[in-house]
Amino acid sequence: MNSGTGTAPAAGRVLVVDDEKPLARLVATYLERAGYAVAITHTGPEAVQAARAHEPDVMVLDLGLPGLDGIEVCRRVRAFSECYVLMLTARDDEQDKLAGLGAGADDYITKPFSVRELVARVGAVLRRPRTTVAAPEPERVYGDLVIDLAAHEARVNGQAAPLTRTEFDLLAALSGRPHQAFSRRQLIDIVWDPAWVGDERLVDVHIKNLRRKLDADPTRYIDTVRGVGYRMAEQ
């Protein structure tokens, strides 16, 4: 495994995982120029090990990897890390994207891609507001659902739901204004970044995963507002 600077700068730590070594090095070079501490791995097992060792803020993860594919790497990393996962896929395949997001990835970008765009995506996520900082209220309660902003945790009937950071941030955004219907673009601006560019249906996949983790009834806590987007359901 190669690494960038020895001491992590304030910009953050990024783990780049891709079996195409020249591409991985190119991505790492651009990220290092932007001020990030970068580590590189080229196989699935190495990626899981590096995620434990380096505790990255962001993982740039290729879907096609030797040893373990990106989907399995993401599942295993999600068991111990809340790092932001940007999935790379060589095929513009809807199923690949859905599988990656279902495994816990936060975003995706399809090869071939602009390295500058990738660096911009990394910067955007690291600018995301921390819902645990200076929260005006410690908890929000919706029936059997308790959203604990201080702990960054959602509990249903006292049991913690296994939400990713993005799923929790979506829930926090919706519950912050429970009577407001949010469009996909509004949720992207809040949870990702106003500068984020991509397929806004990304929101739909994360909402679907969030609903599934909260309750078997998909409309129990989150309503779909036709022609608009989503809002918290009345309890």
User: Per residue in 14-43, pLDDT tens?
Assistant: 999 999 999 999 999 999 999 999 999 999
- Residue 117 sits in the same domain as residue 24: yes
Tell me the two tokens of residue 120: 């911009």
CATH number for the domain harbouring residue 75 = 3.40.50.2300
Q: Which domain holds residue 162?
A: 139-232
Largest CA distance in the chain: 53
- Note the pTM of the prediction, 2 decimals: 0.73
Residues 19 and 121 placed together within one structural domain of the fold: yes
The whole-number pLDDT of residue 210 equals 95
The CATH code of the domain that includes 156 is 1.10.10.10
The first and second tokens of residue 205, run together, are 């996949």
pLDDT at 137: 67
**What are the angstrom distances between the C-alpha of 179 and each of 60, 133, 189, 223?**
36, 23, 18, 11
Both 115 and 156 in a single domain?
Answer: no
Least confident stretch, 122-136, 145-159, 161-175, 191-205: 122-136
Q: Comparing 4-18, 31-45, 206-220, which segment has the lowest mean pLDDT?
A: 4-18
Taking alpha carbons only, the member of 120, 125, 146 closest to residue 191 is: 125
Domain count, the chain: 2
- Range from 54-68, 81-95, 118-132 carrying the lowest mean pLDDT: 118-132
DSSP 136: S
Q: How far apart are CA 83 and CA 160, in angstroms?
A: 19
